[in-house]
Every structure is written in structure tokens, then in C-alpha cells.
């Protein structure tokens, strides 16, 4: 498809397990963002990639969270030793180099539930 | 944590009514944006504002970038059922060498036919 694709759409896991969430951005978009959205809240910034490198990872809450984008396209958000507080919708967004400033194209999100 | 304060948190209105929501911050932003999120989807950009004092319209939507660069409002005229959703303000500030986009907590709009 032409939009940002995220998989899985839903993930239920047990406390302490490892989780990977995948984002496939719009083709040609160099900037990629991960946000986390808790119930009743706005998206909260986690990490920003420009190409393959993480330009800003200051939003990652702790060292259990890690994200990669090895070829400058698909990105994977990895969460180790999941906790119940990690339950949220994880949104991925991409932006065109010459796009409207601030216009991020979001995927539908991956809803993570940690039991 | 969030640096943008949106109000009201939620609104329940009759179809055809006008709606107004706003966003304030203690920080100065270079750009203000308004996004809408439908259930089960990611936010979609509605309007972008780039200059203090700027007033911009997009169909039934009108938004303004406050003179102090610390606030913005969004108006929706003659609401229709498909306006239902969550409206987020977002601000761009230059931080860490790049433009960082920060979202408010959202205003939830319900429209009664």
C-alpha cells in the first residue's frame, strides 16, 4: 500500500517477555518516528531516525526500549522484559524530505497489551 | 511529559453547531499544527501554521497561531457527524539539532445528529 504499514496491529504478551514491533514507512521517506500513545493521551515522542541513524532517542523511557533502522527504510522497535506499564498503542510515522514542515504520515499503530 | 495544554478535554455538541478548541504552552513554538485522529487510525494533519498571528482556513476549519507563539486555536464551523474524533494540537520546537514535534493530550469531539 501507499501508506505507513505497522505490524502486528495487536500484540498481547505476558510480563517479562520480549516484543518487536515493525514499521514500513512510505517509500522514499527518509525521516521515521516512533511515538507511544497511552489511553486518553496524545502521542508521546520516543525516537526519530534520519536515514539509518537515530538522530534523537531522548524519548525512549529506559534501556529496555531500543529501535533500529538498518537499511534506512523498515524500522523495528524492540522492548525487552515488558512491563504492564508498557501497554499502549505504538505509532510509527514517516516524513518526506521536502514535505510540509510538521506533516507526519502515521500508521494505524500497534496496540500492545502486557498482561 | 506533555508541554501543551489542550482544552476542553472533550465536547459533545449537536450537528450544525460551531466548535472551538485551543492549545496553550509555556514554551514558544515555531510552528503549530492541528491533527485529527479517528478510532483505530493514526493522526492526520489538518492545518499547519508557520507565523505568529497567522490565520488559516481549510474548508470548515479555521486555525490561528497566537501572537505570543505560545498558543493556537481551532474552530470548526457547522459541525457534521464525520467531525467526530480526537483533535490534537502539536508544536514544533528546535531541539537537539532538529525540529521536534510535540503533541497535546487531545480534545475529544462527539457530534449528536
pLDDT one-digit tens code per residue, B1-11? 448 999 999 99
For residue B97, pLDDT beyond 90 = no
Q: What is the pLDDT of residue A1?
A: 54
pLDDT digits (tens, 9 = 90+) for B34-53: 999 999 999 999 999 999 99
pLDDT band at A99 (very low <50, low <70, confident <90, very high): confident
CB-facing half-sphere around the CA of B55: CA atoms within 13 A: 2
- Contact call for residues B91 and B31 (beta carbons, < 8 A): yes
- Contact call for residues B90 and B102 (beta carbons, < 8 A): yes
Q: What is the pLDDT of residue B30?
A: 87
By CA distance, what is A59's nearest residue in B? B1
For residue B100, pLDDT beyond 90 = no
- Decide if A42 touches B, using CB distance below 8 A: yes
Angle at A58 between CA A55 and CA A60, to 5 degrees: 110
pLDDT digits (tens, 9 = 90+) for B38-91: 999 999 999 999 999 999 999 999 999 999 999 999 999 999 999 999 999 999
Q: What is the pLDDT of residue B83?
A: 96
Residues 6 or more apart whose Cβ sits within 8 Å of residue B78? B16, B17, B18, B60
How far is A60 from A68, CA to CA, in rounded Å? 13
- Contact call for residues B1 and B25 (beta carbons, < 8 A): no
By CA distance, what is A49's nearest residue in B? B98
- Contact call for residues B23 and B5 (beta carbons, < 8 A): yes
Amino acid at each position: 500500500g501507499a501508506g505507513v504499514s505497522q505490524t502486528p496491529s495487536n500484540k498481547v504478551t505476558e510480563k517479562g517477555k520480549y516484543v518487536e514491533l515493525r514499521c514500513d514507512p512510505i517509500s522514499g521517506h527518509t525521516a521515521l518516528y516512533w511515538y507511544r500513545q497511552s489511553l486518553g493521551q496524545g502521542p508521546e515522542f520516543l525516537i526519530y531516525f534520519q536515514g539509518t541513524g537515530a538522530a534523537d532517542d531522548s524519548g525512549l523511557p529506559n534501556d529496555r526500549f531500543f529501535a533500529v533502522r538498518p537499511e534506512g527504510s523498515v524500522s523495528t522497535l524492540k522492548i525487552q522484559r515488558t512491563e504492564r506499564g508498557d501497554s499502549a498503542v505504538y505509532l510509527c510515522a514517516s516524513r518526506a524530505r521536502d514535505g510540509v514542515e510538521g506533516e507526519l504520515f502515521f500508521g494505524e499503530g500497534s496496540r500492545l497489551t502486557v498482561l | 511529559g506533555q508541554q501543551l495544554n489542550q482544552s476542553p478535554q472533550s465536547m459533545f455538541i449537536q450537528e450544525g453547531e460551531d466548535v472551538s478548541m485551543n492549545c496553550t504552552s509555556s514554551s514558544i513554538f515555531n510552528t503549530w499544527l492541528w491533527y485529527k485522529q479517528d478510532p483505530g487510525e493514526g493522526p492526520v494533519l489538518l492545518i499547519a501554521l508557520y507565523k505568529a498571528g497567522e490565520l488559516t482556513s481549510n474548508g470548515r476549519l479555521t486555525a490561528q497561531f497566537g501572537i505570543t507563539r505560545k498558543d493556537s486555536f481551532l474552530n470548526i464551523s457547522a459541525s457534521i457527524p464525520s467531525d467526530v474524533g480526537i483533535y490534537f494540537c502539536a508544536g514544533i520546537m528546535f531541539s537537539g539539532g532538529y525540529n521536534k514535534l510535540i503533541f497535546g493530550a487531545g480534545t475529544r469531539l462527539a457530534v449528536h445528529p
